[in-house]
Structure 1
Amino acid sequence: MHATLDRQKLAQLADGPPSAAIRIDRLDRAIGLLVDHADEIAATLREDFGHRSIEASLVTDVAASIEPLKHAKRHVRQWMRRERRAVSPAALALLGARAWIDYQPKGVVGVMSPWNFPFNLTFAPLAGILAAGNRVMIKPSEFTPRSSALMQRMIASAFDDTEIAVFTGDADVGAAFASLPFDHLLFTGATSIARHVMRAAAANLVPVTLELGGKSPAIVGCDADLALAAKRLMFGKTLNAGQVCVAPDYALVERQRIPAFVDACRAAVTGMFPVLADNPDYTAIVNDRHRGRLRAYLADARAKGATVIDLHAGATSDERRMAPVAVLDVDDGMEVMREEIFGPILPVLPYDRIDDAIAYVNAHARPLSLYYFGNHTEEQERVLARIVAGGVTVNDTVMHLTMDDLPFGGVGPSGMGAYHGIDGFRTFSHARSVYRQSRFDVSAMLRPPYGKMVSRLLAFKIRR
């Protein structure tokens, strides 16, 4: 890995900032890999998960990866343009002074991608990284080894390793990767692992973008259509069997509407998945470790007085698939309310006033995503104004993540920095400031010896 990093840095220095044509060519090659290997990607993900919906994989890991690459391809020439800025004081402009920003490639960007959407959370960031003119080293997750190996073969077939290189391996390889002196490091994964990654990057003063997770709330407002809200919420909760960083982690519902809301959730789940066992549309939990973790959450909740309600009308899970459930009567002492769930478990909490729901969210770590259901304008604006979250979807779930022109990122424990669209281009670029002085010697008055002119200037500047 060290040798590859050295070669990439030397190549970047030798070649200089790549032209728009080179950047577009790299984006095209990345798009071509996804198009040409679409079926293989979906089949490999199904093998890694034990079962994963083929259509869901084609949507989330293929099509949703192609779109940001195409978006970058369409806009990269515009993003690369020199950005004019005003000079100050403005009179300097009349004398010929100019100021601007050049967006320079940072150099070599490290990407540590997770197992839940291995291709999307590698190729979608590549849109901004390649558009910004960087070279890339990638460490995919060891929890989806077939997908990681396929990604390595795909990349090697289309890119020289001085452009993009993939390194597979276990947690020790990941730790060594995080310790490399990249010019920027992007990590997507758990908050607990991010602390180690950030500590490793800090040793080399490597700037980091962290895309994490946490407990993303869904607030069902006073006038929400429960049937529609339940359909959209349970889509986000059952997509990839809830193994999504932006999945709604728990729902806050007016106390008197909870029974009707739970019934609506059950109807929504049954409508999407008439049966669960052997259903090709319903994804399995990725491995034994995570299935055991989710079962332990439910056992802990039951032991502490919670009520677990099956959200599927009569059908049962098979060994790998886990039936969606609602958990009522929860409190913050339960693991299901302390830990990010990352599975098809939905705690439902009551509130009496919207300010109570807002206060509950604000009493906990800032979430990666916030969802609000309802059409009460004042209530909606109050929720948006009072809660700090990485991103928001109103009257749906997950969809803000799919917007190419919106930045995606967390805040605090749910992450730092953002990418997607022009924000990704800027995250992976160095915004270099340039000031060009006028041909007139306007700075002469600032040079010693100081006299009356400087005194007058200071008297003019140091005032209210």
Structure 2
Amino acid sequence: MEIKEIFEKQQVNKKELRSSDAAFRKKKLRLLEKVIMERREAFRQALRQDLNKSDVESDMTELFPVVSEIRFLRKHLANWMAGDRVPTPFYQFGGSSRIVYEPKGSSLIISPWNYPVNLSLMPLAGAIAAGNTIILKPSEFSPATTEVIKSMIQETFDEKEIAVVVGDAEVAKTLLELPFDHIFFTGSPAVGKLVMKAASVHLSSVTLELGGKSPVIVDETADIELAAKRIVWSKTINAGQTCIAPDFIMVHHAVAEKLIQALQKEFDQWLTEDGKNHPDMVRIINERHFDRLNALVDDAVERGAHLCSKHYANRENLEIRPNILKNVSPDAAIHGEEIFGPFLPVYEYESNDSLIGMLSEMPKPLALYIFSKSSLNKRQFVKQIPAGGVVVNHGLLHFTNPHLPFGGVNNSGLGSYHGWHSFLAFSHQKSVLNYWAPFSISDIFKVPYSPFMRKMADWIVKKL
């Protein structure tokens, strides 16, 4: 069926979904969880085919976050849908106030290739919980996983409620020309700007989950061995192809060499005896991305950067060895561009003030990681360095907490999701003021305004 036909069918059906109750939506979420678990092995095989993801990494970074989110949504959905009573000012005596959450309507979800299950089905679950119709466009760069998602949705849901559309950038452009009520996009800031521009034509609301250069701070009080272990874990998951992966490290000069040695020791555990990547290491998604990463390293080295271990890259297998870079020039491309791969530049800083000044001038990142034992330093960094989210003495894990909003700020994104915030992202907060009394303060203020009314208005402005 043509894209416009699917859209028009969903436009009709969104009116019915608007009045759907919690039981109906929870049934759909339960069904979604069921069919995902039934295809667990199919997803594992597809993820290995697309990215060489091990079963463990597929389970823990793709499937677990999705089914965990679905269960959380089901558990709390009825309470959220009941709405919220809010206070009514005394000068509105005779009325009561509440917030009702209604579906935004027709939603478009455009998801990326790096976590093709997770970043497709988590926002999908939120849109279902909020009562929307959905067109999902997974990435064409992870075709095996996209095919599993497409067949699963087609076999499970009526396309008047949920449909999957597959294709390249031209298909995405066609979708973005349609007047969706909400667009949820995960990808790069550059493409995010195009999505926002397209949405502005119809004044569609947007959630943009983007990226940027997420810094790691390691201060002079940090547990260096622990920091190295957790930084390398965060960086090697998905071969660094993660929007919240540590992009670069800012380490206090007093512990810089100690940290680099500890990082190298941790990275070496991902290598085989002949110096190649461990078979469980995720590969680079495609040749274009592989060439981009190698060009970043070549450019950095030409400008004086030092690689802490021998560079290994196999274009045939799309393998790149994780590596640490020192002495990176400010004019190197890797200094300003999001890496999105297994390279980790390390810079030294002298003082908290100089560090905060430098990081505050950069585009606001999606994540900030702080390794420190100093309560003073932790408070200062959290308060004074802008970021979408912060993790102290670990990395990435805020993504898996359904009680925390996940999202960026400005260049790293607009809006947030996960748990309650997923429901909210796909809902309109409708304010309702219900007057039950036969009188109100407006009965006093009627034209023509008497001297008493003028005095009353003056008193209200000054005193209330």
Q: Do the structures match in fold with TM over 0.5? A: yes
* Unpaired stretches in structure 1, ≥5 consecutive residues: none
Tell me the SS of whatever aligns to 2:101: strand
Match of 1:240 among 235, 238, 241: 238
CA drift at 1:152: 0.7
Report the counterpart of residue 31 of structure 1 in structure 2: 33
Counterpart code for 1:46:
R
User: 2:365, 2:97 → 1: CA distance?
Assistant: 38
Report the counterpart of residue 398 of structure 1 in structure 2: 396
Counterpart contact for 1:106–1:430, Cα < 8 Å: yes
Counterpart contact for 2:18–2:131, Cα < 8 Å: no
Report the counterpart of residue 431 of structure 1 in structure 2: 429
User: 1:256, 1:16 → 2: CA distance?
Assistant: 59
User: 2:461, 2:255 → 1: CA distance?
Assistant: 61
CA drift at 1:450: 2.0
Are 1:463 and 2:456 an aligned pair?
no
CA drift at 1:274: 4.7
CA drift at 1:419: 0.7
Report the counterpart of residue 117 of structure 1 in structure 2: 115
CA drift at 1:273: 4.7
CA drift at 1:239: 0.3
User: 2:310, 2:355 → 1: CA distance?
Assistant: 23
User: 1:426, 1:245 → 2: CA distance?
Assistant: 22
Report the counterpart of residue 49 of structure 2 in structure 1: 47
Report the counterpart of residue 82 of structure 2 in structure 1: 81
Are 1:421 and 2:419 an aligned pair?
yes
Are 1:292 and 2:291 an aligned pair?
yes
* Unpaired stretches in structure 2, ≥5 consecutive residues: none
* Structure 1 residues 256 and 104: alpha-carbon distance in aligned structure 2, compared to 1, 3 A threshold: same
Report the counterpart of residue 7 of structure 2 in structure 1: 5
CA drift at 1:319: 3.5
More divergent stretch after superposition (204-213 vs 4-13): 4-13
Report the counterpart of residue 257 of structure 1 in structure 2: 255
Report the counterpart of residue 264 of structure 2 in structure 1: 266
1:271-319 per-position Cα deviation (integer Å, ceiling 9, x unaligned): 355556463321100110011000000000011111112289xx98683
Counterpart contact for 1:211–1:410, Cα < 8 Å: yes
Output aligned runs, 1:349-428, within 5 Å: 349-428=347-426
User: 2:366, 2:421 → 1: CA distance?
Assistant: 17
TM-score by length of 1: 0.95
Counterpart contact for 2:17–2:131, Cα < 8 Å: no
Match of 1:177 among 175, 179, 184: 175
User: 2:102, 2:113 → 1: CA distance?
Assistant: 31
User: 2:408, 2:310 → 1: CA distance?
Assistant: 30
* Structure 1 residues 245 and 411: alpha-carbon distance in aligned structure 2, compared to 1, 3 A threshold: same
CA drift at 1:43: 0.8
CA drift at 1:54: 2.3
Counterpart contact for 1:52–1:280, Cα < 8 Å: no
Tell me the SS of whatever aligns to 1:42: helix
Counterpart contact for 1:209–1:417, Cα < 8 Å: yes
1:397-438 per-position Cα deviation (integer Å, ceiling 9, x unaligned): 100111111000000100000011111111211100011124
Tell me the SS of whatever aligns to 2:462: coil
Report the counterpart of residue 216 of structure 1 in structure 2: 214
Counterpart contact for 2:270–2:277, Cα < 8 Å: no
Counterpart contact for 1:273–1:282, Cα < 8 Å: no
Give the share of equivalent positions with the same residue, in percent.
35
1:12-31 per-position Cα deviation (integer Å, ceiling 9, x unaligned): 21454211011101111211
Are 1:454 and 2:456 an aligned pair?
no
User: 1:453, 1:167 → 2: CA distance?
Assistant: 65
Counterpart code for 1:17:
S
CA drift at 1:349: 0.5
Counterpart contact for 1:311–1:326, Cα < 8 Å: no
Counterpart contact for 2:267–2:323, Cα < 8 Å: no
Report the counterpart of residue 322 of structure 2 in structure 1: 324
* Structure 1 residues 416 and 106: alpha-carbon distance in aligned structure 2, compared to 1, 3 A threshold: same
Tell me the SS of whatever aligns to 1:251: strand
User: 1:453, 1:33 → 2: CA distance?
Assistant: 69
Counterpart contact for 1:30–1:123, Cα < 8 Å: no
TM-score by length of 2: 0.95
1:364-408 per-position Cα deviation (integer Å, ceiling 9, x unaligned): 100000000011000110000101100011100100111111000
User: 1:78, 1:127 → 2: CA distance?
Assistant: 17
User: 1:178, 1:306 → 2: CA distance?
Assistant: 42
User: 1:5, 1:451 → 2: CA distance?
Assistant: 57
Tell me the SS of whatever aligns to 1:411: coil
Counterpart contact for 2:217–2:250, Cα < 8 Å: yes
Report the counterpart of residue 191 of structure 2 in structure 1: 193
Tell me the SS of whatever aligns to 2:194: helix
CA drift at 1:257: 2.0
Counterpart code for 1:86:
P
User: 1:375, 1:62 → 2: CA distance?
Assistant: 34
Report the counterpart of residue 65 of structure 2 in structure 1: 64
* Structure 1 residues 116 and 215: alpha-carbon distance in aligned structure 2, compared to 1, 3 A threshold: same
Counterpart code for 2:344:
L
More divergent stretch after superposition (423-432 vs 205-214): 423-432
Counterpart code for 1:25:
K
Tell me the SS of whatever aligns to 2:432: strand
